[in-house]
Amino acid sequence: MLSVASSTAVPAPDSLAQMLIQSLTAQDHALLEEVLHYKKSVTVEKTLGRLPISHVIPLILAITEKIEAKPSRGGELNIWLRQLFITHRSYLLSSPDVAAQLQPLYKLIDMQLNNYPKLTKLQGKLELLLQEKKSDEEVVAPLSPVSMEEEEEEEDEDIIESEESDAMSD
Contacts of 82 (CB under 8 A, 6+ apart): none
Domain definitions of the chain by residue range: 13-101, 143-170
- Check: pTM over 0.75? Answer yes or no: no
Q: What percent of the chain has pLDDT over 70?
A: 75
Read off the pLDDT band of 2 (50, 70, 90): very low
Does the pLDDT of residue 31 top 50, yes or no?
yes
Contacts of 2 (CB under 8 A, 6+ apart): 11, 15, 19, 34
Indicate the average pLDDT of the chain: 80
Structure confidence at residue 58 (pLDDT): 93
